[in-house]
Amino acid sequence: MSVLIYADSHHGKFPKSSLEAVSYGAAIAASRGTTSVVLTIGTLQGDGGLGKAGAQKVLNASSVHTTDSQQLSRLVVAAAQAQNADVIIFSHDIAGKMIAPRVAARLDAGLIPGATSLPASEGAFKIKKNVFSGKAIAELEVTTSKKVITLLPNSFSVKTDGQDAPVEAFQADLGNTTLKVKEVKSEEKEGEIPLPEADLVVSAGRGLKGPENWGIVETLAHELGAATACSRPVSDIGWRPHHEHVGQTGITIRPNLYIAIGISGAIQHLAGVNGSKTIVVINKDPEAPFFKAADYGIVGDAFEVLPKLIEAAKAYNASK
């Protein structure tokens, strides 16, 4: 038996969410007395750092570059069969949401999407996940012999003390697809931290009054090494790009620190950020509902508060 982890890479690197899935899978393998095997596609340098994160063996399908769910799920199913895997792990990222359901359906395996805990150490295979957009937690039991789990990003620490892992070439028949990729439109900026990956996020809303005022938000984010985000109205009126919109209809993030500036804290916005470990709210309206969800609050005008924060962050950086 083994635990198979599919680790997605981006520009040849494994993002934190993928390494979290590897460490999570390694912990499950250790508790079940089995081996953690990581499956990757595309070019791999050495073991890609996957051994340190907990992989005991790496399977590399180096010639595979497809982004098609049908072909990738065939690859994962073939690896699961070859490795006699009874637990298959993905991150609950874009690749995991795309491939894991297909793999679960193919193997007739119960799937826990967006898991936030390790399986219970004794008895039935029980795992926790967030439900009702983070407003509750459900514990679910997988009742099938094979199990598929997608791990919610920022729910498990990346292990860094593992040994280098042996890498084996892996191939499988991917079959046909009727899907053709015509183009990839990148919205990434050089040096910018991708929002879903960010540990620290500085976010602003309509309280900033106009797109020309975002300089202070970006400066604060830069000083803290944070990514920038925004509320829905701000992306709807085009002040900020769509991929920065966090909230129920935008993206859901769970950073260690979320600083919300000039955002009132509508329930739809909270649904996208309520998993953040520490929430700071800066708003000139002391009645803003967001303060109820905040760990720290500053009642004040953003244009007066932010320069003070930037100055303090600069002093903090200089003292490090």
Partner 1 sequence: MKILVCISKAPDTTSKIAFTEGNTKFDENGVQFIVNPYDEWYALVRALEIKEAQGGNVTILSVGGADYEPIIRKALAIGADDAVRIDAQESDSLYVAKQIAEYAKDKGFDIIMCGKETINYNGSVVPGMVAELLDLPYIPLAVKLDVNAGVATLEREVNGGLEVVEVTGSFVLSAAKGMAEQRIPNMRGIMAARTKPLQVVPAFAAETSTKLVSYDLPPAKGACKYIDAEQAGDLIRILHEEAKVI
Residue list 182-221, contact with partner 1 (CB under 8 A): 182-188, 194, 199-200
Q: How far apart are CA 193 and CA 202, in angstroms?
A: 12
Query: What are the angstrom distances between the C-alpha of 318 and each of 223, 312, 314?
Result: 10, 10, 6
- Map the footprint of partner 1 across residues 4-63, applying CB under 8 A: 8, 10, 15
Residues 6+ apart with CB under 8 A from 267: none
Evaluate the CA torsion angle 73, 78, 79, 83 in order and state its sign: positive
Work out how close the CB of 114 gets to partner 1 at its nearest, in angstroms, rounded to a whole number: 6
Q: Is residue 262 a contact residue for partner 1 (CB under 8 A)? A: no
Q: How far apart are CA 199 and CA 215, in angstroms?
A: 21
Binding mask 120-149 for partner 1 (x = CB under 8 A): ----x-x--xxxxxxxxxxxxxxxx-----
Q: Is residue 104 a contact residue for partner 1 (CB under 8 A)? A: yes
Work out how close the CB of 58 gets to partner 1 at its nearest, in angstroms, rounded to a whole number: 21
Query: What are the angstrom distances between the C-alpha of 56 and each of 89, 153, 185?
Result: 15, 22, 36
Q: Is residue 249 a contact residue for partner 1 (CB under 8 A)? A: yes
- Map the footprint of partner 1 across residues 153-182, applying CB under 8 A: 177-182
Q: Is residue 81 a contact residue for partner 1 (CB under 8 A)? A: no
Q: How far apart are CA 316 and CA 320, in angstroms?
A: 6
Stretch that binds partner 1, among 33-41, 52-60, 207-215, 250-258 (CB under 8 A): 250-258
Query: Nearer Cβ to partner 1, position 56 or 150?
Result: 150
- Considering only residues 20, 47, 68, 86, which one is a binding residue for partner 1 as defined by CB under 8 A? 68
By C-alpha distance, which of 71, 63, 61, 41 is closest to 180? 71
Number of residues that bind partner 1 (CB under 8 A): 98
Query: Nearer Cβ to partner 1, position 30 or 274?
Result: 274
Q: How far apart are CA 95 and CA 64, in angstroms?
A: 14
Work out how close the CB of 113 gets to partner 1 at its nearest, in angstroms, rounded to a whole number: 4
| C-beta atoms surrounding 193 within 10 Å | 16
